[in-house]
C-alpha cells in the first residue's frame, strides 16, 4: 500500500480534482464534440454499430476493435472518454475503483489501461493498482497510461517508477489523450515484433554489440559481459535505439519520436526517468555513467 508520505499528496490530488472538474469536463466536451463534427459518415456509422452491438444487437463490427480499460472514479470523465474513444474506433470498458479495475483487466484482457492516480479514498489508489498489474503474470505487459491531477515531477516519477508506460496531467485535451494512446499502442506493436509466417520475427542472427554490451534482436535478450539483463519493453526499445546509433548524439525529440511515438516535445521528463532505469541496469556505476552519457541541452549518446 501507499506509504504515509504519499497519502497527504493523494489527498491534495483528490481535492484539486474536485475543484477543477467542471473546467476539465468543459474542455473535454469541447474537444470531443469538435472531433465528432469532423468525423466522416463512415466513422459515425461504425460508432453507432458498436453502441448498438453493446445493447445486444446481433450486428457485429467488421473487425475486432482495440480494447481500452478506463479505471477512473469520476463518472462524468469516464463517460466523455468513452464517447470520444468509441468514435475513434476503440472498444471501451470502465471500472470505478481499483479492485474492480484489477478484476476487469484479467477478465476482458484489454489492449491498454487508462488509470487515474488519485482514485477516491476507501479503496486502493492508482499506484497500488499499477503495482498489482505489473506483478500479475496475466497483466504484467499491459500498457498503462496514468492520469494525474498534479504536475509535480515527484508525482510523475512515482507513476513511472511503479510501472506506468506514460502519464498525462489533468486537465488535458482529448486530442492529446488519443495521441498518447496511439503512441503507446504503436510502441507495443514494435516491442511485440512483426512475426513471419514461420513464427519467427525476421531478426535471426542479428545482434547489436557495443563493447561487452550485447543485444540480440531475435530473442530480445540483453547481456553485459555474459550477464543477462532483464529489461522492460520500453527499456529495451530505448537501449535498441542507442545501440543502433553508437557514438551518435540523439536529441530529445528524436528519442521521443522513435521510442514513445510522440510528434511533439512538450514538458516531460519521461526520457530522463528511463535513461536512469537503463543506467541502473547496465552501468557499473549508475551515478557516474560511462556508457550512456548526457549531452547537456541536447540529449544522450552511447559511448565508452
Across the chain, mean pLDDT equals 78
Residue with the three cell numbers 473535454 = 28
Greatest mean pLDDT among 176-190, 227-241, 260-274, 281-295 lies in 281-295
Is pLDDT above 80 for 302?
Answer: yes
Is pLDDT above 50 for 70?
Answer: yes
Task: Look at the alpha carbons of 69, 70, 71, 73 in this order and tell me if their dihedral is positive or negative.
Answer: negative
pLDDT score at 23:
59
Give burial (CB, 10 Å; 0-12/13-18/19+) of 38. exposed
What is the DSSP-derived secondary structure letter of residue 84?
Answer: H
Q: 212-258 pLDDT, tens per residue? A: 999 998 888 999 999 999 988 788 989 999 999 999 999 998 998 88
Task: Look at the alpha carbons of 81, 84, 88, 91 in this order and tell me if their dihedral is positive or negative.
Answer: positive
Question: Nearest to residue 255, comparing CAs of 267, 279, 239, 233?
Answer: 239
Residue 173 neighbours by CB under 8 Å, 6+ apart = 27, 28, 31
Residue 225 neighbours by CB under 8 Å, 6+ apart = 212
DSSP 133-198: HHHSTTTTT--EEEEES---HHHHHHHHHHT-SEEEESS--HHHHHHHHHHHHHHHHHHH----TT
Q: What is the largest CA-CA distance in the chain?
A: 62
Selected residue with higher pLDDT from 263 and 209: 209
Is pLDDT above 90 for 31?
Answer: no
Q: 72-112 pLDDT, tens per residue? A: 988 888 998 999 999 899 999 999 999 999 999 999 999 99
3-state secondary structure of 222: strand
Q: 130-144 pLDDT, tens per residue? A: 999 988 888 888 999
pLDDT score at 257:
83
Is pLDDT above 50 for 278?
Answer: yes
Residues present in the chain in total:
304
What pTM value is reported for the model?
0.62
Is pLDDT above 50 for 158?
Answer: yes
Within 10 angstroms of residue 252's Cβ, the number of other Cβ atoms is 16
Question: Nearest to residue 304, comparing CAs of 218, 219, 246, 221?
Answer: 246
Within 10 angstroms of residue 236's Cβ, the number of other Cβ atoms is 20
What residues pair up with 27 in beta bridges, in sequence order? none
pLDDT score at 10:
35
Within 10 angstroms of residue 270's Cβ, the number of other Cβ atoms is 21
Within 10 angstroms of residue 53's Cβ, the number of other Cβ atoms is 15
Are the C-beta atoms of residues 105 and 142 closer than 8 Å to each other?
yes
Within 10 angstroms of residue 210's Cβ, the number of other Cβ atoms is 17
Within 10 angstroms of residue 155's Cβ, the number of other Cβ atoms is 22
pLDDT score at 108:
92
Amino acid at each position: 500500500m501507499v506509504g504515509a508520505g504519499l497519502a497527504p499528496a493523494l489527498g491534495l490530488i483528490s481535492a484539486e480534482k474536485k475543484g477543477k472538474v467542471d473546467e476539465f469536463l468543459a474542455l473535454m466536451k469541447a474537444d470531443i464534440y469538435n472531433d465528432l463534427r469532423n468525423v466522416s459518415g463512415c466513422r459515425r456509422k461504425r460508432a453507432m454499430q458498436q453502441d448498438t452491438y453493446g445493447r445486444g444487437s446481433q450486428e457485429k463490427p467488421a473487425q475486432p476493435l482495440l480494447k481500452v480499460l478506463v479505471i477512473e472514479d469520476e463518472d462524468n470523465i469516464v463517460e466523455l472518454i468513452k464517447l470520444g474513444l468509441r468514435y475513434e474506433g476503440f472498444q471501451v470498458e470502465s471500472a470505478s475503483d481499483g479492485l474492480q479495475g484489477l478484476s476487469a483487466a484479467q477478465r476482458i484482457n484489454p489492449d491498454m489501461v487508462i488509470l487515474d492516480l488519485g482514485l477516491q479514498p476507501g479503496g486502493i489508489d492508482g499506484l497500488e493498482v499499477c503495482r498489482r498489474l505489473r506483478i500479475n503474470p496475466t497483466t504484467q505487459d499491459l500498457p498503462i497510461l496514468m492520469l494525474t491531477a498534479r504536475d509535480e515531477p515527484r508525482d510523475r516519477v512515482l507513476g513511472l517508477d511503479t510501472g506506468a508506460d506514460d502519464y498525462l496531467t489533468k486537465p488535458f485535451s482529448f486530442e492529446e489523450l488519443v495521441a498518447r494512446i496511439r503512441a503507446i499502442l504503436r510502441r507495443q506493436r514494435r516491442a511485440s515484433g512483426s512475426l513471419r509466417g514461420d513464427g519467427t520475427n525476421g531478426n535471426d542472427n542479428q545482434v547489436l554489440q557495443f563493447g561487452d554490451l550485447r543485444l540480440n534482436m531475435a530473442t530480445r535478450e540483453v547481456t553485459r559481459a555474459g550477464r543477462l539483463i532483464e529489461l522492460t519493453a520500453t527499456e529495451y526499445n530505448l537501449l535498441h535505439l542507442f545501440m543502433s546509433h553508437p557514438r551518435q548524439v540523439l536529441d530529445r525529440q528524436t528519442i521521443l519520436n522513435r521510442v514513445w511515438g510522440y510528434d511533439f516535445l512538450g514538458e516531460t521528463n519521461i526520457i530522463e526517468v528511463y535513461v536512469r532505469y537503463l543506467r541502473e541496469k547496465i552501468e557499473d556505476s549508475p551515478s557516474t555513467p560511462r556508457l550512456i552519457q548526457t549531452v547537456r541541452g541536447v540529449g544522450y549518446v552511447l559511448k565508452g
